[in-house]
Chain A
């Protein structure tokens, strides 16, 4: 199996899904001739032509709205929003329409569309180019939210997202785009949406992370007997895998880069409190970004949960 970075893996997933199904089309700002600002769609225009790989006006609401229209009548559009911070003009289309078409029409309409967007901090850019506002989308019944943590996960999950009958917000951790290479299978390879992955087994503590925080959490906890869960799908999330682990360890730390208040960690903590309170030996701790806009360059190292903060939380929990 060839070693690929996440950019190459995502590009391969798009290419293969487009070859597999001519209903799949790609649209977004600069995705065609330019190949996308992060080069995820590089070469697709040459391979599939302008009818299937479309440079759009700089109009996020219309990008998502047009994709909804395409999907309502049987196409499977993959829309790119250039940065997660640019998605807010499209909020209305995502929340008011894409998320509700199925419910509003009592199951007769579906929006099988994917909205891909670079997500998260760590590329030394300021706010709006380093957003991690995944919790907004998890609060939208009808939307699925997926965050890969590495190249092979990215490929398998994107293929599943494109084949999924519901609208999927697919968040690509920008920091991971070119960080590592790993073996990524060619051909028909999918990872199911809605399933978390136990990255490392352990018995003293459960650590839950997603996106670029996973790699950071794994490294930070090398010397601990920690069970590490890569959530992968945030909505609908895999509570079964989490609860099974909590039952075993009795201690939970959740790591996310998004601001703390109403971050997705709060939902996980609430679920654990509701479902597994008797298994807990201590409080569910969250290691998160502070409640501020993402800062620029130097300060971002202070903003993002780092190894020291993750370890400190774990050490605190182990005292219980």
Chain B
């Protein structure tokens, strides 16, 4: 499995995969110039990696995402949903910003989009 370690910028989140815990961490804000270009390699990586993994956790702490990043995030969750249907143990931990009511709303909206375990937690800042 290829390692993943993308550093955060002002407009794009840090993304890395913790191989010890099979956890993909996405953390930061997301409004890159082209969200599709930014997320496409991660989605491809995820599809390939999920062929060999038996479990995966997505630990996501994005306090703000623009509309096209929302679409890309849903695409990532769809890849996990497919894996879940094939028997991969999948789980999402969504960390929201307590200071921002929209951040919790967003977590709830995304939770409705998947059928597997989706935990909403408070983001420690």
Are A and B physically bound partners?
no
> Chain B residues in contact with chain A, CB under 8 A?
none
